[in-house]
Amino acid sequence: MEPKRIREGYLVKKGSMFNTWKPMWVILLEDGIEFYKKKSDNSPKGMIPLKGSTLTSPCQDFGKRMFVFKITTTKQQDHFFQAAFLEERDGWVRDIKKAIKCIEGGQKFARKSTRRSIRLPETIDLGALYLSMKDTEKGIKELNLEKDKKVFNHCFTGNCVIDWLLSNNSVRNRQEGIMIASSLLNEGYLQPAGDLSKSAVDGTAENPFLDNADAFYYFPDSGFFCEDNSSDDDVILKEEFRGVIIKQGCLLKQGHRRKNWKVRKFILREDPAYLHYYDPAGGEDPLGAIHLRGCVVTSVESNTDGKNGFLWERAVSTQAPLPHLDILTALPHPLTHSLRHR
């Protein structure tokens, strides 16, 4: 019987011999991790056994690279992987740790809900609670908060979360509120912003969530960003990055000149509507941006090179073509529907 597939998707992997980072299609199995050069490949480029392995996250070995985690095998071989965004990394780390623990205990991998592990009341629906917290009229107010000469945009404080839970009659006391907020944090509905809240999540505090006015948090799709105190010119340049993140992940993109296909990390934002794309093995600066106002997207079932994907055309007088995309991750046509409404 073949091992069960637990998770799969694109990650950027560091080479074992050279300091090169390349996108790989990675599959997490019950007993190991397989990685492929392409999703369509039949044979893996390598395999990492999980028995006896240890996982380190976050991995701080590479200062300029975010969302990196490390797997060390019993033979003391280190394997480094980089995710496209925080929630993706945490999802991989959570499943890999659980797979290793299941191997050690001789158990089958099975997902266990946060409700059982933290003993949440049966009446609590974290998903519905998250939507209520994000309500523009009755939810938690997102603010621009300043600390240590940094401005945290679209944020709120830890004590504001507990105050809201109490006022909304979602909890009976502040201690129960901390438990619920910690569950929201563990499930990715809330994200830490700033050193204090991040240190609590990393385990240096008694609870992962802090009922504290100096602990900052944000919603994962809120358009959060942190900036140093800057000039008006800097603010204008960052305007295109202020939109709420609708979707993000890795896609194949066709080049403008050589027409070759490369894996790129894409982030779709609205208000203003932009699609930024990055080298997943590169830095934080985008390789390019597509202003979606006045654009239409057409789903192409077949084309000359035999790939399925999306053909972009700008709906203006120049009729300039935009990049040709082919989705190879688990992000299907909902991305198209999101763009049609921009």
For residues 79 and 5, which has the higher predicted lDDT (pLDDT)? 79
Domain contains 234: no
Domain contains 238: no
Check whether residue 130 and residue 207 sit in a common domain: yes
Confidence (pLDDT) at 233? 41
Check whether residue 192 and residue 130 sit in a common domain: yes
Domain contains 220: yes
CA distance 215 to 160: 10
Taking only the tens place, the pLDDT of each residue in 189-220 is 898 888 888 888 766 556 789 999 999 999 87
User: Residue 335's domain spans which residues?
Assistant: 243-340
Q: Helix 126-133 and helix 174-186: axis angle, to 10°? A: 100
Check whether residue 186 and residue 142 sit in a common domain: yes
Query: What band does 117 get if pLDDT is binned at 50, 70 and 90?
Result: very low
Domain contains 235: no
CATH code for the domain of 165: 1.10.10.10
Check whether residue 24 and residue 98 sit in a common domain: yes
Confidence (pLDDT) at 13? 93
Check whether residue 250 and residue 324 sit in a common domain: yes
Domain contains 46: yes
Domain contains 28: yes
Check whether residue 335 and residue 268 sit in a common domain: yes
Give the count of domains, the chain: 3
CA distance 79 to 111: 25
Task: Report if pTM > 0.75.
Answer: no
Domain limit, last residue, from 55, 76, 105: 105
CATH code for the domain of 23: 2.30.29.30
Domain contains 110: no
For residues 122 and 14, which has the higher predicted lDDT (pLDDT)? 14
Domain contains 233: no
Check whether residue 195 and residue 253 sit in a common domain: no
Taking only the tens place, the pLDDT of each residue in 287-337 is 888 877 767 777 666 555 555 455 554 443 333 444 444 333 333 333 443
Check whether residue 334 and residue 252 sit in a common domain: yes
Least confident of 108-112, 261-265, 284-288: 108-112
